[in-house]
């Protein structure tokens, strides 16, 4: 179903936006990743625990690099072009080849929250996905008590499809999750902004 890309389906090329660069992560990013991933506020609504040691950031980068190599769903580092620092990640959490769908996810350092970075990065990933891959549906989900993430999805033209009750067991409790999607045929309003 997916168009075969000569460089691999998840080849994760560099993507530039107004303020950001999305690129593959390298070992040089370990300190930046550790600095925000140690923050419990960043980890609260994601499926990983706040990091305790920089070795965990290094292990994450090694894991991601194996996924780049094996052409598996993986994430870009989000670089703030002004400072040159890695301030978050965004990418593919899952995919279904038979259904031509992918699931996306993202997280950003607390010091850049509220500047529109997640929206800017997600719009770029949606454009890239529909323009270069045979994907029909992009999904995302957020915990109900993380409404900022739902707002990002809305600003990216994603439509809320419902609430999945106690879908996840995260950080010691069952949590409700809202499911969003955007289809290839849907409007992407920012294209005409």
Residues that bind ligand COA (CB under 6 A): 42, 45-46, 105-108, 113-119, 142, 146-149, 151-152
Spatial separation of the C-alpha atoms in residues 193 and 78, rounded to whole Å = 23
Half-sphere exposure of 58 (CA within 13 A, CB side): 3
Q: Please, what is the minimum distance in Å from the beta carbon of residue 72 to ligand COA? A: 20
**9 or 158, CB closer to ligand COA?**
158
**6 or 40, CB closer to ligand COA?**
40
Q: Please, what is the minimum distance in Å from the beta carbon of residue 139 to ligand COA? A: 11
**30 or 121, CB closer to ligand COA?**
121
**9 or 120, CB closer to ligand COA?**
120
Spatial separation of the C-alpha atoms in residues 61 and 42, rounded to whole Å = 18
Q: Please, what is the minimum distance in Å from the beta carbon of residue 149 to ligand COA? A: 4
Q: Which two tokens stand for residue 28?
A: 């040089």
E-only strand ranges, 9-158: 15-16, 20-23, 75-80, 85-96, 101-108, 137-143
| DSSP letter assigned to residue 136 | -
**Cα–Cα separations (whole angstroms), residue 191 to 90, 123, 165:** 20, 9, 34
Q: Please, what is the minimum distance in Å from the beta carbon of residue 105 to ligand COA? A: 6
Spell out the residues 6+ positions from residue 97 whose beta carbon is closer than 8 angstroms to its own.
1, 2
Q: Please, what is the minimum distance in Å from the beta carbon of residue 181 to ligand COA? A: 14
Of 175, 180, 166, 188, whose CA–CA distance to 138 is shortest? 180
**69 or 115, CB closer to ligand COA?**
115
């Amino acid at each position: 179903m997916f168009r075969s890309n000569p460089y691999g389906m998840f080849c994760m090329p560099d993507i530039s936006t107004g303020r950001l660069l999305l690129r593959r992560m390298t070992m040089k990013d370990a300190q930046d990743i550790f600095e925000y991933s140690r923050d419990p506020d960043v980890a609260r609504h994601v499926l990983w625990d706040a990091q305790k040691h920089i070795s965990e950031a290094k292990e994450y980068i090694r894991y991601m690099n194996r996924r780049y190599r094996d052409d598996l769903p993986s994430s870009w580092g989000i670089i703030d072009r002004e400072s040159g620092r890695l301030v978050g990640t965004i990418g593919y959490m899952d995919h279904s080849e038979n259904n031509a769908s992918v699931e996306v996810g993202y997280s950003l350092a607390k010091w850049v929250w509220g500047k529109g970075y997640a929206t800017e990065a997600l719009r770029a990933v949606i454009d890239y996905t529909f323009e270069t891959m045979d994907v029909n549906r992009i999904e995302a989900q957020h915990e109900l008590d993380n409404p900022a993430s739902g707002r990002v999805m809305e600003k990216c033209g994603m439509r809320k499809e419902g609430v999945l009750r106690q879908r996840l067991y995260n950080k010691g409790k069952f949590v409700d999750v809202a499911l969003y999607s955007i289809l290839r045929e849907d409007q992407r309003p920012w294209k005409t902004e």
